[in-house]
Amino acid sequence: MPEGFSPALREVSDAVLAVGSTLAVEQVLQRLVDVSRGLVDARYAAIGIPNDEGGFAEFLTAGMSEELVARLGPLPERHGLLGAVLETKTSYRTPDVQSDSRFRGWWPSGHPSMRSFLGVPIVATGDVIGAFYLTDKETAEEFSGEDQEVIELLAAHAAIAVTNARLYEHSRELSILDERNRLALELHDVLTQKLFAVVLASESAGTLLETDRDAARAQLERLRQLAGDVLEELRYLILELRPPELERDGLAETLRKHVEVLRRVQDGVELALELDGEPPAHPDRDRELLRIAQEALHNALRHAGATRVVLRLGADDGLLYLEVCDDGVGFDPDAPALRARRLGLTSMEQRARRLGGRLEIESAAQAGTTVRLEAPL
């Protein structure tokens, strides 16, 4: 930052950079309220996000012990000064909050005594989406105009940070919904058909037992094969549903464990994992990479008829790459009918775009398939 910037602006800049590295809404809010307290030397600070029912969806504090917060009870209602700051786009500053008529009648028992007060609304796209509440300036009798300007600057950045975090969480929710829909379609399209075939084979075997025992035995063998197929499909789906320990183990170790499990449940296919430098940990990105790897492996084992499948992960020259190769029968990646049946292909491409990367699928009849993702580190 240029030399002419004030220390306060430097602190705001550092705070915004720190907040920008977090995407979970509650973590963003907690960082913001912690930062606001330090910027203006407040003993206590809070940030409130209103709901549609006259209260707060989130109300996080700084400077209060866990025991004090517990003693204060549930989230406050949106009345008195807390609500007043949310009803206007103008900040409010006073040396003695207890002299304000809006203060009376809403102060809960057990609440610490407070005097100086600074309330700053957080405004996004013309609407007040929250507010900073700061009390008891520790280095002066009251908050100054400069304090107000600093928190107003932080509030402007907070509006962007909170909006981005909400959009990210909404995107995650949509991603989870897409995953559920895909698994539901898998259950319906694959398992329902095979279970229906199981029922038909068992009924046919029952009918033939009295008239044609050889034909009945053939139907029972078919029944055994179908039941095995159903069991295999369920194993794959359970593997995809099982929550991975990404943050604890890291991406490479999680992939190694996943490949080991697949080796135990998959007969007749050689599975290999090749690592060429693990990219630095990033939980949200790694979660997307894991799902892409799982989907590509799932497709190779279910559809390719391969004898060897290789999963590669590496990082090189500012890029990470993830690759799944098989020596199976291959297919046409652009065939509309196939994409309608295999929603996983579209899902992998969507995940790649969320990572700012590119997914390429190379395949041809009897020439195997390579799924390769490249994304920035």
In a domain, 138, yes or no: yes
DSSP state of 54: S
Least Cα distance to 323 among 255, 238, 248 occurs for: 255
| Per-residue pLDDT at 151 | 92
CB count within 10 Å of CB 137 equals 20
In a domain, 67, yes or no: yes
Q: Tokens 């084992």 map to which residue?
A: 301
CATH number at residue 375: 3.30.565.10
Same domain, 144 and 276: no
Same domain, 139 and 258: no
Lowest mean pLDDT across 32-41, 110-119, 188-197, 258-267: 188-197
Burial of 147 (0-12, 13-18, 19+ CB in 10 A): buried
Q: Over 225-258, what HEC string results? A: HHHHHHHHHHHHHHHHHCCCCHHHHHHHHHHHHH
Same domain, 160 and 13: yes
Which pLDDT tens digit goes with each residue over 24-82?
677 778 888 888 998 899 999 999 888 877 778 888 889 887 777 766 666 566 667 78
CA distance 239 to 223: 25
In a domain, 178, yes or no: no
Q: Tell me which range, 71-75, 186-190, 195-199, 211-215, is most confidently predicted by mean pLDDT.
A: 211-215
- Domain of residue 126 covers 7-169
Say if residues 60 and 76 touch (Cβ distance below 8 Å).
no
> Among residues 131, 150, 169, which one ends one of the domains?
169
In a domain, 232, yes or no: no
Which pLDDT tens digit goes with each residue over 155-167?
888 888 777 767 7
Alpha helices in the chain (DSSP H): 7-20, 25-39, 66-72, 80-86, 145-186, 192-208, 213-241, 246-265, 283-303, 336-341, 343-354
Q: Output the six-digit token pair for 51.
A: 């709901």
| Per-residue pLDDT at 2 | 41
Same domain, 253 and 367: yes
Query: Residues with Cβ < 8 Å from 369, sequence gap 6 or more?
Result: 299, 300, 304, 325, 326, 328, 330, 331, 361, 362, 363
> Among residues 169, 185, 213, which one ends one of the domains?
169
Q: At what angle do helices 145-186 and 343-354 cross, to 10 degrees?
A: 160
Q: At what angle do helices 25-39 and 145-186 cross, to 10 degrees?
A: 170
**Domain count along the chain:** 2
CA distance 128 to 126: 7
CA distance 337 to 354: 25
In a domain, 209, yes or no: no
> For residues 247-262, b (16+ Cβ closer than 10 Å) or e, as one string?
eeebbbebbeebbeeb
pLDDT tier at 198, thresholds 50, 70, 90: confident
Same domain, 254 and 161: no
Share of the chain above pLDDT 90, in %: 17
CA distance 242 to 257: 12
Same domain, 161 and 253: no
Same domain, 17 and 147: yes
In a domain, 142, yes or no: yes
In a domain, 81, yes or no: yes
Q: What is the dihedral of CA 227, 266, 347, 164, to 10 degrees?
A: 120
Kindly report whether the global pTM for this prediction surpasses the value 0.85: no
Same domain, 132 and 271: no
Q: Tokens 């698994």 map to which residue?
A: 183
Say if residues 205 and 220 touch (Cβ distance below 8 Å).
yes
> Among residues 169, 195, 220, which one ends one of the domains?
169
Burial of 283 (0-12, 13-18, 19+ CB in 10 A): exposed
Same domain, 165 and 19: yes
